[in-house]
């Protein structure tokens, strides 16, 4: 019998829309963070006299920070709550971004980007779990989709604003490009003031009176907690990471992390052809290249739009498998025919960006649906951390592969990565559309068969 609750069955209210945008600000800042560094790097390289090692450290510092931020703060928020960290992380992000204006040596900037990465990495599991735990069942995937689209929106915005700053003041204004992130951070902080704690998390901690008070402030004085009571009291004092890597959660952890990491790694492989796209449209020279990068980000954003509806009407599993399968085709063409016309490259790149929309959205949605409340942020944080390994691999290994084996074989490596994600989806992807979080995250749910739990040793 389907589990129901006020949250799961509620109509979409202004409160839900506010939660969605409060959380989307964090992913917007992540896209902004990554792209603003690409814009600022040429000027910073000259001003700080960066060597090869320093350039590499600067390029990867934010990714390393996101890895540790998402891994550690996801588990922390499952222990102390979502709300306490929800403002602290963005205040830290804003402060460290503003301090870029005062960086005079390479190590200072590298450290600041690392700390900024930790702050935004902390926001990943917080934002996604808050959207998942507050939005009604039929709007849950669309809510996560908005977060994904915000990432690409942030990447596009950073390139456009970076273009304007560099055009007006020259590359010596690189620090202002990095510090400009404080503006959207401040806006998001203001939006988040007054955001309530997740009732699901409060209930998982036995704080039902607080949960009921919050629920009644949102849904009315007659609201009850029916349908939100935990099916069984597991709990929260377990070591979260150890729990994730043991049955009955191990398969969920592998599925939440594996396709997500494959999608992220392949994204960097496909970006190999971005210069060809930009050259074809005349966006490959000087400061104008940042506008071209903004256009490619918007192309990926467009691919996510239909998923906001399809995730509920066509099913998660079908979309996830179909998207991964279609992503293989452009990589196969580019792998077999790497030396081809610009028109073919543009067609393949555009096709990949558009058909990857479901994968981009569902890679974020599934981890939030498959773990129970007391492990949700830990599981999401772990999955996000694994994707940073994929991003780092794409950043560092791609130039090496291009030099050693060439463009075609590199695309075939990308094809193998996507195919691995497809295989995991075929084997493990559950159908979670139309199901409450109690159903999707329950150990007894038939949606994702688990191996038989072993006795504790």
The domain that holds 148 is classified in CATH as 1.20.1250.20
229 in a domain, yes or no?
no
Q: Burial level of 49, CB count in 10 A (0-12/13-18/19+)?
A: exposed
pLDDT reading at 238 higher than 60: no
User: With bands split at pLDDT 50, 70 and 90, how would you rate the model's confidence at 237?
Assistant: very low
Which residues lie closer than 8 Å to 370 by C-beta, 6 or more apart?
A: 252, 255, 256, 379, 430, 432, 440, 441, 448
Average per-residue pLDDT in the chain? 87
The whole-number average pLDDT for the span 398-403 is 80
Q: How far is CA 343 from CA 272, 283, 415, in A?
A: 16, 15, 21
Q: ω into residue 63 within 30 of 0, thus cis?
A: no
State yes or no: pLDDT of 196 exceeds 70: yes
Q: How far apart, in whole angstroms, are the C-alpha atoms of residue 113 and residue 435?
A: 40
* 261 token code pair: 């990491």
Residue 169 has pLDDT above 50, yes or no: yes
Q: What pLDDT is stored for residue 235 in this prediction?
A: 47
| Phi, psi of 227, rounded to the nearest 5 degrees | 90, -10
How far is the C-alpha of 276 from the C-alpha of 345, rounded, in Å? 7
- 102-116, 139-153, 392-406: range with lowest mean pLDDT: 392-406
Asked if the model's pLDDT at residue 308 lies above 70, the reply is yes
CB 381 within 8 A of CB 46: no
Q: What proportion of the chain, given as a percentage, has pLDDT over 70?
A: 91
The domain of 112 spans 6-224+238-441
In a domain, 452, yes or no: no
- Residue 233, in any domain of the structure: no
Residue 367 lies in a domain: yes
How far is 149 from 431, CA to CA, in rounded Å?
23
Cα distances (angstroms) measured from residue 237 to each of 6, 80, 204, 233? 28, 12, 11, 11
pLDDT at 281 over 80: no
Give yes or no for residue 206 having a pLDDT over 80: yes
Axis-axis angle for helices 357-370, 140-169 (nearest 10):
120
Give the span between the Cα atoms of 416 and 383, in whole angstroms. Answer: 20
Q: Is residue 232 part of a domain?
A: no
Chain segment 70-124, per-residue pLDDT in tens: 998 888 998 888 888 988 999 999 999 999 999 999 999 999 999 999 999 999 8
Question: What average pLDDT score do residues 290-300 get?
Answer: 88
Give pLDDT, residue 453.
Answer: 39
User: Tell me, what's the pLDDT at 426?
Assistant: 96
Nearest to 135 by CA among 308, 8, 307: 8
457 occurs within a structural domain? no
Residue 426 lies in a domain: yes
> What is the tens place of the pLDDT at every residue in 10-56?
889 999 999 999 999 999 999 999 889 888 988 999 999 988 888 87
Q: What is the mean pLDDT of residues 217-228?
A: 86
Instruction: Quote the CA–CA distance of 212 and 287 in Å, as a whole number.
Output: 54
Grouping H, G, I as helix, E, B as strand and the rest as coil, residue 256 is: helix
User: Measured between alpha carbons, how far is 62 from 82 in angstroms, rounded to an integer?
Assistant: 23
Distance CA 40, CA 154 (A): 15
The residue with tokens 């006020």 is: 6
Tell me: pLDDT of 387 over 50: yes
Q: What is the DSSP letter of 171?
A: G
Please give the full DSSP string across 134-148, using - where no structure is assigned: HS-GGGHHHHHHHHH
- 69, 121 in Cβ contact below 8 A? yes
> Locate tokens 């038939």: which residue?
446
Question: What total number of domains does the chain contain?
Answer: 1
User: Does residue 215 have a pLDDT over 50?
Assistant: yes
> Residue 280 has what pLDDT?
67
Q: What is the pLDDT of residue 452?
A: 42
User: Whose structure tokens read 């550690």?
Assistant: 72
59 or 109, which is more confident: 109
pLDDT of residue 444: 31
Is the residue at 456 inside a domain?
no
Asked whether residue 233 carries a pLDDT value surpassing 50, the answer given is: no
CB atoms under 10 Å from CB of 286, counted, come to: 10
Query: How confident is the model over 291-304, as a mean pLDDT?
Result: 90
CA end-to-end distance (rounded Å), the chain: 34
Question: Which of 12-16, 386-390, 417-421 has the largest mean confidence?
Answer: 417-421
pLDDT tens digits, 336-349: 987 777 888 888 88
**Residue 437 pLDDT > 90, yes or no?**
no
User: What pLDDT score does 236 carry?
Assistant: 45
Of the candidates 176, 299, 256, 268, the one whose C-alpha atom is nearest the C-alpha of residue 428 is 256
């Amino acid at each position: 019998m389907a589990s129901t609750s006020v949250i799961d069955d509620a109509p979409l209210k202004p409160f839900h829309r506010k939660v969605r945008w409060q959380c989307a600000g964090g992913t917007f800042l992540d896209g902004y963070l990554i792209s603003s560094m690409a814009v600022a790097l040429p000027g910073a390289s000259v001003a700080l006299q960066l060597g090869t090692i320093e350039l590499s450290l600067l390029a990867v510092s934010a990714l390393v920070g996101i890895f540790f931020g998402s891994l550690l703060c996801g588990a922390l928020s499952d222990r102390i709550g979502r709300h306490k960290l929800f403002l602290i992380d963005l205040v830290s992000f804003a402060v460290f971004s503003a301090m870029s204006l005062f960086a005079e040596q390479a190590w200072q900037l590298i450290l600041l980007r690392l700390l900024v990465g930790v702050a935004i990495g902390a926001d990943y599991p917080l934002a996604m779990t808050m959207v998942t735990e507050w939005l009604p069942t039929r709007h849950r995937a669309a809510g996560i989709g908005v977060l994904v689209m915000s990432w690409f929106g942030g990447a596009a915005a950073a390139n456009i604003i970076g273009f304007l700053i560099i055009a007006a003041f020259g590359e010596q204004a690189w620090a202002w490009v990095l510090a400009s992130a404080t503006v959207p951070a401040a806006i998001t902080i203001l939006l988040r003031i007054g955001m309530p704690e997740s009732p699901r998390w409060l209930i998982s901690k036995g704080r039902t009176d607080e949960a009921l008070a919050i629920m009644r402030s949102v849904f009315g004085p007659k609201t009850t907690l029916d349908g939100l009571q935990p099916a069984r009291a597991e709990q929260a004092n377990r070591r979260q990471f150890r729990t994730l890597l043991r049955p009955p959660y191990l398969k969920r952890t592998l599925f939440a992390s594996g396709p997500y990491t494959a999608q992220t790694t392949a994204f960097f492989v496909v970006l190999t052809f971005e210069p060809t796209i930009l050259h074809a449209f005349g966006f490959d020279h000087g400061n104008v290249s940042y506008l071209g990068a903004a256009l490619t980000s918007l192309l990926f954003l467009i691919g996510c739009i239909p998923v906001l509806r399809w995730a509920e009407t066509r099913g998660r599993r079908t979309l996830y498998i179909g998207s991964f399968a279609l992503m293989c085709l452009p990589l196969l063409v580019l792998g077999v025919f790497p030396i081809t016309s610009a028109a073919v490259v543009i067609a393949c790149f555009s096709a990949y960006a558009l058909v990857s929309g479901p994968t981009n959205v569902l890679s974020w949605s599934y981890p939030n649906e498959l773990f129970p409340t007391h492990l949700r942020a830990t599981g999401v944080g772990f999955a996000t951390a694994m994707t940073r390994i994929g991003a780092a691999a794409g950043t560092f290994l791609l130039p090496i592969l291009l030099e050693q084996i060439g463009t075609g074989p590199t695309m075939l490596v990308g094809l193998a990565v996507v195919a691995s994600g497809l295989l995991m989806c075929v084997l493990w992807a559950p159908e979670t559309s139309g199901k409450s979080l109690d159903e999707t995250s329950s150990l007894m749910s038939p949606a994702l068969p688990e191996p038989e739990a072993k006795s504790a040793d």
